Amino acid sequence: MVDEGRHGAAAPGGNDALAEDRQSPAPWVEVVIEIPRGSFLKRGSSGRVDFVSPLPCPYNYGSVPAFLGLEGDLLDALVLGPRRPRGSRLWIPARGAVGLSDRGMYDDKLVCSEARLSEPERRRVLRFFHVYARCKRLLNWLRRQPGLTRCEGWGEAGAAIARASPRNGKWRGPAVRF
**30 neighbors 2 (Cβ within 8 angstroms):** no
Tell me if 178 is assigned to some domain: no
Tell me if 57 is assigned to some domain: yes
What's the mean per-residue pLDDT of the chain? 83
Per-residue model confidence as pLDDT tens digits over 118-164: 999 999 999 999 998 998 898 889 989 888 899 999 999 999 999 99
Print the domain residue range for 142.
2-166
Tell me if 171 is assigned to some domain: no
Amino acid identity of residue 7, one-letter, is: H
Tell me if 47 is assigned to some domain: yes
Tell me if 20 is assigned to some domain: yes
Number of domain units in the chain: 1
In this prediction, residues 49-55 reach a mean pLDDT of: 77
Q: What is the CATH number of the domain that holds 45?
A: 3.90.80.10
**Phi, psi torsion values for 168, nearest 5 degrees:** -110, 175
Tell me if 116 is assigned to some domain: yes
Tell me if 174 is assigned to some domain: no
Tell me if 177 is assigned to some domain: no
Per-residue model confidence as pLDDT tens digits over 56-90: 889 999 999 999 998 888 999 999 999 999 999 99
Q: Are strands 28-35 and 89-102 parallel, antiparallel or unpaired?
A: antiparallel
Q: What is the pTM of this model?
A: 0.81
